[in-house]
Amino acid sequence: IGFTGTPVELTDKNTRAVFGDYIDIYDMTRAVEDGTTVKIFYESRIAKLELPEEMKPRIDAEYEEITEHQEYTQREKLKSKWARLEAIVGARERVRQIAHDIVEHFEKRELSQENEGGKGMIVVMSRRIAIDLYKEIVALRPDWHSDDLMQGKIKVVMTGSSSDPPEWQPFIGTKASRETLAKRMKDRNDELKLVIVRDMWLTGFDVPSMHTMYVDKPMSGHNLMQAIARVNRVFKDKQGGLVVDYIGIAENLKDALSQYTESDKKTTGVDMEAAAHVLLEKYDLIKELLHGHDYSKFFTGKSSEKLQAIVETMDYIIGLRENRKNDYIQLVTEMSRAYSLCATTDIAEKLNVEVGFHKAVKASLVKIISEDSRKKTTSQLDHELNQLVSKAISSDEVIDLLGSVGLSKPNIGILSDEFLEEVRGMKQKNLAVELLNRLLKGSIKSFSRRNLVQSKKFSELLEGAIRKYQNRAIETTQVIMELIELAKKITEAEKRGEQTGLSEDELAFYDALAENESAREVMGDEVLRQIAKDLTVSIKNNISIDWTIRESVQAKMRMTIKRLLKKYGYPPDKSAKAVEVVMEQTKLMCQNETF
């Protein structure tokens, strides 16, 4: 039997008295460790309450009394207390102050998040305050407002009654309209990013992309814990949820946490300063790794100089040992995660441009050297890089990585002599090696879809050159020359079919047969070319859509190849290997055929 829920009392005597002690406890800390929830961070941004000091301690107690009794009769009895508290918390100047702060804070949070589409929730004391706050926010950001239910960046979610004033009616929704807003809020691609609520959606409403909750309503105990749990759901690269406190819930949060396990106290309500310290620590390690390298032009120069600083830093990092390159990428990743959690702190504000710079360098590095980046299209990578760098430079800057080092954009399939000469003349030699490595891998991968033997040969040459470079066995300028020579060989290989009078498929089979030098010497090119032509015709006549999974068809194919080789006198001791290579090449050919 399993019980789930939020503790109502510290000792939990009743449950254990009836059912016995806990067999096992799966707490929030274990959920974080398992990756089913994320940590919740706390930030205090308390807005001043204009009331006498002696009244402040009574706010929480009186509000708790009100909210614990939701029936109309109880609310009427406590109406005078409610009116006094609500008037203080909802004072016009205070609401205006909070609106300014939320707009500025949320925009910074949006910029600092690794994934777009993050959401936020604002919790207030009353429906009147919700409406007033909405009006103040849209006065600051008119484009966030829309009368259309399906449009707008911010909405109020509340119910109504017959006694509500007419000016509230545009904000009072039906059950159907609230369901529509809920769907919009759960859609990470929808423009709705912020909702203002009093009691709605504080329990049982899951929006994984919600990263920030703004609290301007006294809450305590299990009500508080259930509310802040709205931001602890896992979502892509979301590093944690943030609770922003405008009313002073810190003590109540501590009291509520005292009813949880000891480990939970370390993963819920974590002060944002902890993330800021991690940010500083990672930044210091990055500075240490880049010791001796000057990238100050990024902060003082023109746009072209900023790009040059990125390129020169990439070149510097690529010139480091392989493990140091990986260290840099990992440190920037960890620094970015910490920054996304504490972007609104003073420390993060000071490091804002530094973080943007290193994220741009990292994104550019990954674009060139990472295996994962090859799974993405060039346009996807360019778009991601533009987004990162534009945050650090300007929103309308267009980033052309190759252009910024003086290169034209090459055709990846054919590396022209002009482009190779441009690479040879690059000042950033380490970056030149990585660019050539990346481009050559792309060319070889394209080749591997057509010609097994040639692509294998080129892969081995490329790997050998890069291995010598990484082991510091040859100078950077020398490896650039080797890679340029390899690029020329690949370009020449693309034209071999025209020179030999063979089709693409025939040439691939010719290479499979001529891989053995002794066979080529004994038989000569003319005979091998004829075998390749006959093989192409014979294989195309015998293949079917499912031949690779039918053993009987494969056996027949092998027999056909063996007979052809025997007919032309292919060396018997070399034929077994030749048959297997031809079979592999046939599989490649079939992948490009339409049946």
Better-predicted residue by pLDDT, 520 or 3: 520
d(CA 295, CA 278): 23
Give the pLDDT confidence score for residue 260 in this predicted structure. Answer: 52
Task: State how beta strands 241-245 and 119-124 pair.
Answer: unpaired
Q: Residue 104 — pLDDT band, cuts 50, 70, 90?
A: very high
The two structure tokens encoding residue 311: 């390129």
Contacts (Cβ under 8 Å, ≥6 apart) of 374: 441, 442
pLDDT confidence of residue 152: 94
What residues have CB less than 8 Å from 406, skipping those under 6 apart? 422, 425, 426
Instruction: Determine the pLDDT at residue 345.
Output: 81
Q: Collapsing DSSP states into helix, strand and coil, what is residue 145? A: coil
Average pLDDT over every residue of 548-565: 83
Give the model's pLDDT for residue 54: 53
Q: Is it the case that residue 270 has pLDDT exceeding 90?
A: no
What is the mean predicted confidence (pLDDT) over 500-511? Answer: 86
Q: Which of 106-115, 213-222, 366-375 has the highest mean pLDDT?
A: 213-222
- pLDDT at position 76 is 54
Give the pLDDT confidence score for residue 271 in this predicted structure.
64
In our burial notation (b when 16+ CB lie closer than 10 A, e otherwise), range 102-133 reads: bbebbeebbebbeeebbbbbbbbbbbbbbbbb
Q: Higher confidence at residue 234 or residue 327?
A: 327
SS3 content of the chain, % helix, strand, coil (to 5): 65, 5, 30
d(CA 199, CA 10): 25
What is the model's pLDDT at position 109? 86
58-67, 296-305, 359-368: which has the minimum mean pLDDT?
A: 58-67
Q: CB neighbours (10 Å) of residue 251?
A: 10
Confirm if 451 and 507 have CB atoms less than 8 A apart.
Answer: yes
For the purposes of burial, counting CB atoms within 10 Å of the CB of 313, is it exposed (0-12), middle (13-18) or buried (19 or more)? buried
Half-sphere exposure of 212 (CA within 13 A, CB side): 30
pLDDT of residue 386: 45
Tell which wins on pLDDT, 527 or 24: 527
Top-confidence residue, 65 or 175: 175
Query: 3-state class of 51 per DSSP?
Result: coil
Mean pLDDT of 290-307: 85
With 0-12 / 13-18 / 19 or more C-beta atoms within 10 angstroms meaning exposed / middle / buried, residue 232 is buried
Q: Provide mean pLDDT across the span 491-509.
A: 82
Per-residue pLDDT at 42 exceeds 60:
yes
Q: Where are the alpha helices (DSSP H) in 20-90?
A: 28-34, 56-67, 72-77, 79-89
pLDDT above 70 as % of the chain? 74
Average pLDDT over residues 120-137: 94
171-190: per-residue pLDDT in tens? 998 889 999 999 999 998 89
Closest to 217 in 3D by CA, of 64, 359, 370: 64
State the distance between the two ends of the chain, measured CA to CA, in whole angstroms: 58
∠ at Cα 416 (412, 420), nearest 5°?
95
Whether the pLDDT of residue 586 is over 80: the answer is yes
Q: What percent of the chain has pLDDT over 90?
A: 16
pLDDT higher at 289 or 593? 289
**Residues 233-269: pLDDT tens digits?**
877 777 788 888 888 877 777 776 665 544 444 445 4
Q: Are 202 and 222 in contact (CB under 8 A)?
A: no
What pLDDT is attached to residue 391? 41
Q: Which of 73-87, 447-461, 479-493 is predicted least confidently?
A: 73-87
Cα(240)–Cα(185) distance, integer angstroms? 19
Q: What is the mean pLDDT of residues 531-559?
A: 81
Model confidence band, residue 147 (pLDDT cutoffs 50, 70, 90)? very high
Helices (H) and strands (E) in the chain, counts: 26, 7
User: Residue 135 pLDDT > 90, yes or no?
Assistant: yes
Tens-place pLDDT, residues 381-440: 444 444 444 443 332 333 444 455 444 444 444 456 766 776 677 777 777 777 778 778
Q: pLDDT-based confidence at 371, cuts 50/70/90?
A: low
Q: Are 122 and 194 in contact (CB under 8 A)?
A: yes
Higher pLDDT, 423 or 532: 532
pTM of the model: 0.54
Q: Measured in whole angstroms, how far is the alpha carbon of residue 387 from the centre of its chain? A: 12
Whether pLDDT at 5 is above 70: no
* Contact yes or no for 197/225 (Cβ under 8 A): no
pLDDT at position 197 is: 93
Reference 290, options 337, 322, 327, 336; nearest CA is 327
